[in-house]
Structure 1
Amino acid sequence: MVLVPQKRISEKALTVWRISASINVIISWILAAVVIFILHKFNVPYWISVILIAIELIFTYLNIFLFPTLKWRRWRYDVRDEEIELQEGIFIVKRTLIPMIRVQHVDTVQGPILRKYHLASVIVNTAATAHKIPALEESEAEELRLYISTLARVADEDV
């Protein structure tokens, strides 16, 4: 039986992701308004503008309400003595195992929106890639960073 990672990221991630999506949606609406204005200037049929607005409304709903919820429900992680397991995805679920022996360093990052909600993300770096555990409580992120770095040092010494 394959175990699914059990730890969840903070529920505040929903708010952070919705704020980020809102910024993207505002930019999208501005672009749509410019396109509608240009279409109006060239006397393009009215129904094309209506379709564009409908598409923007669907885009807004999906990006602000539906996708963050689905993303939060799916995002899980576990840190074990010999590996880190991540699970993420909305339609396609991606599960990643990172062997502790491959971990080179661990960072915490915090942008302005994460900082406002007292969240931070943990980035686990290997030689090939960087893996992100997003939107953890600040204290949890710091503890996790220290714990992973300790486990990575022990795994490195065992080799």
Structure 2
Amino acid sequence: MFTNIEIDIDSIPKAEMVKLNPISKSYLKILYINIFIQYSILFGIVILAKNLIEEDWVSNVFWYAIIFLFLLLILQLVISILSFKKRGYALRNHDIIYAKGLLMHKRTTVPFIRIQHLETKQSFIAKKFNLASLHVYTAGESGGDLSISGLTFEEATRINQLLTTKIN
């Protein structure tokens, strides 16, 4: 006979209570480098526009644009520092958890049985800091994929090997 017993929700382990492992502090340097590259391009465009466009309104707006970009740069650096502290991951017996975000905190839990394949990637800058990203691709919806950036290369490789043995 079919029975459908109710589960006590309080007895289920809470993913929010799991202690997350922090990512490498060197990843913050990569975030800074990316921000400075972006803003160097933006400052360059504003300066180039001032020098190439010979209109009065461009000269009048130039310093407002520079100050605005500078304030945005400071804001993005502060947000990067604060959100960096919220990044973390955890491996459990049956799943992997990754959390990130400051204003929009997101915690993703991927069961091992949904993992299709794994990749460990390194960008040019990440290689200089011996860092890598672990990409976990899942079956089903595209929103279930997971990418953990800021792991040391050894740690990303070790987790990749562990997950590969778990899913096979």
Q: Distance in 2 between matches of 1:19 and 1:137?
A: 18
User: Structure 2 stretches of 5 or more lacking a match?
Assistant: 1-13
Which of 6, 9, 28 is the equivalent residue of 1:14?
28
Offset, 1:38: 5.1
Size of the alignment, in residue pairs? 151
Aligned to 1:103: 115
Q: Distance in 2 between matches of 1:28 and 1:59?
A: 11
Residue 53, structure 1, aligned to residue 66, structure 2: yes
Offset, 1:45: 7.0
Which of 75, 89, 92 is the equivalent residue of 1:80?
92
User: Structure 1 stretches of 5 or more lacking a match?
Assistant: 154-159
Offset, 1:46: 4.9
Which of 105, 109, 113 is the equivalent residue of 2:125?
113
1:6–1:76 CA contact under 8 A, matched in 2: yes
Offset, 1:4: 4.3
Q: Distance in 1 between matches of 2:38 and 2:84?
A: 19
For normalisation by structure 2, the TM-score amounts to 0.82
Tell which structure's C-alpha radius of gyration is larger.
2
Change beyond 3 A, Cα 1:151–1:21? same
Q: Distance in 1 between matches of 2:30 and 2:106?
A: 22
2:122–2:132 CA contact under 8 A, matched in 1: yes
Offset, 1:43: 0.9
Q: CA RMSD, aligned part only? A: 1.8
For normalisation by structure 1, the TM-score amounts to 0.86
1:61-72 aligned at under 5 Å gives the runs: 61-63=74-76, 65-72=77-84
Amino acid at match of 2:89: Y
Q: Deviations over 1:120-141 (max 9, x none)?
A: 1111011333311101111111
